[in-house]
Chains A and B, each alone.
Chain A
Amino acid sequence: MMRLLPHPLLSAALVLMWLMLTRFSLGHLVLGSAIAVIAGLALARIEPPAPRIRSWPALIRLFGIVTLDILRSNWAVARLMLTNGRHGARRSAFVDIPLRLQNPVGLALLAVIVTATPGTAWLEYDQESGVLLLHVFDMIDEDGWRALIRDRYEALLLEVFA
């Protein structure tokens, strides 16, 4: 089983995507599964260790939190655009955030979260020191941002990937 499906999550996602993009039929299920297995085997050549999800509930909770945060920050940034940055009072700043998270998949997910949330931009991550350089559009409290990333996202990501 593991020999044929070294990346079970990736293969499952590919089959699902294949069925979404085509009309569901037995033929497409077979074709999609074949492609998913081949893609999983190919990826195993490049990137042998498959990501392991330790805690599905934490992942689902993270998903919910992020969806809410994206909505909220969209509203916040759109309002800043409309009011011309609170009439000139908005200040953007860099903030460096020391991360405990080291799992590459976890870091990639954090990058997606940070980027998908308007108002924060992932600029640079130093693998050696584990420090992430973030740019914040509307900076009010630097330590608040550090705590937010650490407690709201990183803690859950550590729980999921560890």
Chain B
Amino acid sequence: MSGLEGLPPWLILPVAGFLVLGSTLTLLGAFGLLHLKSFYDRIHAPTLGTSWGTAAILLASALSWSWAEDRVFLHELVIGICVMATTPVTLMVLGRAALHRDRTEGRGDVPPAPPRTEPAPEGADKA
């Protein structure tokens, strides 16, 4: 991209630092996703990428583009907010699906379902 060659050294350093930090964290998260043994451990790994992995790369982008275009770029903030606000949704759906599967299959290491006060349909509360 043109315009980015003109970045002064004092700005290149933090931009590069944030880029390396963000991509390293995202890579570590991906590695954990591949490497960890249980499902519940694996859902933790990608959160490295969705928190500071994303934030650091967005910071680098905002810094360099604000300089190159000579105005403050805040698009990145919107991306960050959207990522932050939407990850819990997928995480909860995945987590609850896994809990439901493990409870119905009767694996011992998951906590039991919360008790219901209304009469549940037959067999639904045995999980």
Q: A: which residues have CB within 8 A of B?
A: 17, 20-21, 70-71, 74, 77-78, 81-82, 92, 94, 96, 108, 111-112, 114-124, 126, 128-129, 131, 133, 135, 137
Q: List 17 A-B contacts (CB under 8 A).
A: A20-B74, A70-B51, A70-B52, A74-B51, A74-B52, A77-B45, A78-B48, A81-B28, A108-B88, A116-B87, A118-B48, A121-B44, A121-B95, A122-B88, A123-B99, A124-B99, A131-B114
Among B1-9, B11-19, B35-43, B119-127, which stretch is in contact with chain A? B35-43
* Among A114, A116, A128, contact of B117 (Cβ-Cβ < 8 Å): A128
- In the assembled complex, which residues on chain A have CB atoms less than 8 Å from the CB atom of B115? 129
Q: B: which residues have CB within 8 A of A?
A: 24-25, 28-29, 31-32, 38, 40-41, 43-45, 47-48, 50-52, 74-75, 77-78, 84-85, 87-88, 91-92, 95-96, 99, 110-111, 114-117
Q: Contact: A111 with B92, CB < 8 Å?
A: yes
B77 CB to closest chain A CB, in angstroms? 7
Q: Contact: B25 with A123, CB < 8 Å?
A: no
Q: Cα distance A77–B27 when bound, in Å?
A: 13
- Given A70-B52, A124-B95, residue A81 in contact with residue B77 (CB < 8 A): no
Q: How many A-B residue pairs have CB under 8 A?
A: 97
Q: Cα distance A82–B29 when bound, in Å?
A: 10
Q: Contact: A128 with B116, CB < 8 Å?
A: yes
B114 CB to closest chain A CB, in angstroms? 4
Closest 5 CB pairs of A and B: A126-B114, A123-B95, A115-B88, A118-B47, A137-B44
A155 CB to closest chain B CB, in angstroms? 21
* Among A21, A77, A124, A137, contact of B78 (Cβ-Cβ < 8 Å): A21
- In the assembled complex, which residues on chain A have CB atoms less than 8 Å from the CB atom of B38? 92
Q: Cα distance A111–B95 when bound, in Å?
A: 13
B50 CB to closest chain A CB, in angstroms? 7
Q: For residue A75, which residue of chain B has the nearest CB?
A: B52
Q: For residue A111, which residue of chain B has the nearest CB?
A: B88
- In the assembled complex, which residues on chain A have CB atoms less than 8 Å from the CB atom of B77? 20
Q: Cα distance A141–B31 when bound, in Å?
A: 27
Q: For residue A136, which residue of chain B has the nearest CB?
A: B44
A116 CB to closest chain B CB, in angstroms? 5
